[in-house]
């Protein structure tokens, strides 16, 4: 992106003062999650500054000479020194990103956007429903909720993937499954190999999940059609629109409400989202690129 200035990270104020500044980060580790999905662990080239973010926020990641894309921050917000992004390679920039190796440089701008209502959810049951590459934007919330479990009611994570091979963070999901403080259920659209678990779309897990709809908040990430069916199923269980939060995707350029690329009704997804309370976007939701 030619308008970017490439800078070493000097301090956080610098980042906030000029959100167009791209800061150089070094790839510390690459973790292959599935055949097309990988996690980059990044550290600032100038190591003096820690990076803080809220669950649900994203960064603009710049693959030098190729382009810049929005990618959610997928690590633990209580460990901001470990900056993680999990990306599925789908096109020009993300395929170039997948070729990065330890020691390579990436440009980072952010963090941008709104966050999951982890404070407002205190005292509530929390149901997280997501599919495929929708889990990375929600993983920081899972970490936050589990770290303060005594402040919440029941925690439920419902996760769907196309096939067992598409499940991201498989080992970590297995560890969460063994815990008594979160109920985890996983399903795949199509069983392959040794899969002996649920088969069907993620919404089929909702009727059997245990939570109190009157005091539940829901957090959903997935393709818009998946979110639409998930919202309908949660409403059938008795959740109100005001208790449902979704994360939206739109094409982005600036990331902070300047260029208008990510317009969604009266909102900019980069600034007013990506996390929205459902009742606020309901009139525009599911209406394509409006």
Ligand X SMILES: Cc1cc2nc3c(=O)[nH]c(=O)nc-3n(C[C@H](O)[C@H](O)[C@H](O)COP(=O)(O)OP(=O)(O)OC[C@H]3O[C@@H](n4cnc5c(N)ncnc54)[C@H](O)[C@@H]3O)c2cc1C
* Positions that interact with ligand FES (CB under 6 A): 252-255, 257-262, 268, 270
Shortest spacing between CB 139 and ligand X, in angstroms: 10
Shortest spacing between CB 109 and ligand FES, in angstroms: 11
Is residue 136 close enough to count as binding ligand X by CB under 6 A? yes
* 79 touches 145 (CB < 8 A): no
Give the separation between CA 185 and CA 208, rounded to whole angstroms: 10
**In this complex, which beta carbon is closest to ligand X, that of residue 94 or of residue 216?**
94
**In this complex, which beta carbon is closest to ligand FES, that of residue 186 or of residue 270?**
270
Among 43-51, 68-76, 189-197, 231-239, which window interacts with ligand X (CB under 6 A)? Answer: 68-76
**In this complex, which beta carbon is closest to ligand X, that of residue 154 or of residue 250?**
250
**In this complex, which beta carbon is closest to ligand FES, that of residue 239 or of residue 270?**
270
**In this complex, which beta carbon is closest to ligand FES, that of residue 133 or of residue 270?**
270
**In this complex, which beta carbon is closest to ligand X, that of residue 72 or of residue 216?**
72
| Binder of residue 254, out of ligand FES, ligand X, none (CB less than 5 to 8 A by kind) | ligand FES
| Binder of residue 59, out of ligand X, ligand FES, none (CB less than 5 to 8 A by kind) | none
Pairing state of beta strands 198-199 and 183-188?
Answer: parallel
**In this complex, which beta carbon is closest to ligand FES, that of residue 5 or of residue 199?**
5
Give the separation between CA 156 and CA 171, rounded to whole angstroms: 18
CA separation, residue 147 to residues 8, 52, 78, 144, 260 (Å): 32, 17, 9, 5, 37
Is residue 274 close enough to count as binding ligand X by CB under 6 A? yes
Query: What residue number has its CB nearest to ligand X?
Result: 91
DSSP string, the chain: -TTPEEE----HHHHHH-TTEEEEEEEEEEEE-SSSEEEEEEEESSTT------TT-EEEEEETTTEEEEEE--S-TT-TTSEEEEEE--SHHHHHHTT--TT-EEEEEEEES----TTTTTTSEEEEEEEGGGHHHHHHHHHHHHHTGGGSS-EEEEEEESSGGG-TTHHHHHHHHH-SSSEEEEEESS--TT--SEES-GGGGTTT----GGGEEEEEES-HHHHHHHHHHHHHTT--GGGEEEE-----SSSSSSS-TTEETTEEHHHH-SEEEHHHHTTTTTSS--
Shortest spacing between CB 136 and ligand FES, in angstroms: 20
Shortest spacing between CB 247 and ligand X, in angstroms: 7
Total residues at interface with ligand X (CB under 6 A):
21
Is residue 268 close enough to count as binding ligand X by CB under 6 A? no
Shortest spacing between CB 209 and ligand X, in angstroms: 24
The pair of three-digit structure tokens given for residue 255, joined into one six-digit string: 């990331």
Is residue 71 close enough to count as binding ligand X by CB under 6 A? yes
Among 21-29, 90-98, 154-162, 187-195, which window interacts with ligand X (CB under 6 A)? Answer: 90-98
Among 149-157, 177-185, 202-210, 247-255, which window interacts with ligand X (CB under 6 A)? Answer: 247-255
List residues near ligand X by CB under 6 A.
58, 67, 69-72, 86-88, 90-94, 133, 136-137, 249-250, 252, 274
């Amino acid at each position: 992106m030619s308008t970017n200035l490439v800078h070493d990270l000097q301090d956080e104020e610098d980042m906030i003062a000029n959100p167009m500044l791209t800061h150089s980060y070094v790839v510390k580790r690459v973790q292959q999650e599935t055949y097309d999905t990988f996690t980059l662990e990044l550290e600032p080239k100038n190591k003096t500054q820690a990076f803080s973010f809220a669950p649900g926020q994203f960064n603009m990641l710049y693959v030098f000479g190729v382009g810049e894309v929005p990618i959610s921050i997928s690590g633990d917000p209580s460990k901001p020194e470990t900056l993680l992004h999990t990306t599925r390679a789908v096109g020009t920039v993300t395929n170039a990103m997948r070729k990065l190796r330890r020691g390579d440089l990436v440009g980072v701008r952010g963090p941008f956007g709104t966050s999951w209502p982890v404070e407002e959810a205190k005292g509530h049951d929390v149901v997280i429903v997501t599919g495929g590459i929708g889990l990375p934007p929600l993983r920081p919330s899972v970490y936050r909720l589990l770290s303060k479990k005594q402040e919440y009611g029941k925690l439920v994570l419902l996760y769907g993937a196309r096939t067992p091979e598409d499940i991201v963070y498989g080992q970590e999901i297995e560890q969460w499954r063994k815990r008594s403080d979160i109920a985890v259920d996983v399903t795949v659209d199509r069983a392959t190999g040794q899969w002996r678990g649920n088969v069907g779309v993620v919404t089929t897990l909702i009727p059997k999940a245990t939570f109190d709809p009157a005091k539940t908040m829901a957090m959903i990430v997935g393709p818009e059609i998946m979110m639409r069916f998930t919202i309908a199923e949660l409403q059938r269980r008795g959740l109100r629109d005001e208790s449902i939060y979704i994360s939206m995707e739109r094409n982005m350029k600036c990331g902070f409400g300047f260029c208008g690329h990510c317009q969604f009704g009266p909102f900019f997804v980069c600034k007013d989202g990506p996390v929205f309370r459902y009742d606020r976007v309901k009139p525009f939701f599911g209406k394509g690129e409006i």
